[in-house]
Amino acid sequence: MKSYLDIVQKILDNGFRKANRTGVDALTIAGAMFEHDMAEGFPLLTTKKVPFQMVRSELEFFIRGITDKEWLKEQKNSIWNEWCSPDIVPYGNDEATKAKMMSERELGPIYGWQWRNFGARYTAYNTPPEGQSCDQLQKLVQTLKTDPDDRRMIVSAWNPCDLHRMALPPCHYAFQVTVIDGKLNLLWNQRSVDAALGLPFNIASYGCLLHLLAKEACLKEGKLIGFLGDVHIYINHINTISLQMIRQPRALPRIKTDNFKSIFDWHYNDTIVEDYNPHPAIKFEIAV
């Protein structure tokens, strides 16, 4: 995907080294835009292998509004292992605190909770929401089916009242759907972008969500667009991603979902990618 590679190259060429809360400096640029036409293939990076099983199981985790880290672990998904709700363990990047954070299961009112229960009072991962709430995802799907020309189909994970209770405030904090000429387009907003490790996952996750919403509404798949804010490469990723950049991109895979009934009944194993032939995986250390 040229759009992704162009973003990485821009950071390597023009990024300013700055400190951040993780304690690991990063080369950073202000603002970038990712754009991909789904007709060109499913946007799963080919210059390194991206574990799509982890991408799609995390997406199901969000769609279902789950906030229990153990659910992901049961799916052999380690994406959220390092974090927990600050209600349980206040954030810190020293080794003792990181170990405590990893041992807890409570993530707080993160992405999926906000997608499905915005405005409700959050108590715990195993407790139902309290008070009135808005199921933003259900509302979006209903609008998509009844009024696809609507320009207000937006889902937000950014709830300022709950940020202090989240394991991690949303990096990708909102997405919008717009239908043009019978094609469903998805546009997401992201405040903080780890270009080496996180962005390939974000692209594939929203690409999969676009695919599912298009199936839900019987529409063709259009464009996937990301509006990116603080876009960075951690300094301990620079040498490795520079090696990745010299790899020749390969043909993109195709995405396929069997037995689809509804996005709300979807299980991540229903969706696969076909003809995925990436270069070998590359390990990047995560900055907690």
Rounded to whole angstroms, how far apart are CA atoms 13 and 226?
21
CA 169 to the chain's CA centroid: 13
CB neighbours (10 Å) of residue 235?
Answer: 14
What Rg do the C-alpha atoms of the chain give, in angstroms?
Answer: 19
Task: Look at residue 31 and give its three-state secondary structure.
Answer: strand
Q: Which of 84, 134, 161, 171 is catalytic?
A: 171
Q: SS3 string of 49-114?
A: CCCHHHHHHHHHHHHCCCCEHHHHHHCCCCCCCCCCCCCCCCCCCCHHHHHHHHHCCECCCCHHHH
The CA–CA distances, whole Å, from 165 to 1, 60, 61, 162, 264 equal 36, 22, 18, 6, 26
Please give the single-letter amino acid code of residue 237. H
Give the pairing type, strands 16-18 and 254-257: unpaired
Please give the single-letter amino acid code of residue 205. S
Cβ proximity of 86 and 33 under 8 Å: no
Task: Look at residue 211 and give its three-state secondary structure.
Answer: helix
Concerning whether 84 is annotated as a catalytic residue, the answer is: no
Rounded to whole angstroms, how far apart are CA atoms 238 and 194?
12
Range list of H helices, 218-257? 238-245
Catalytic residues: 171
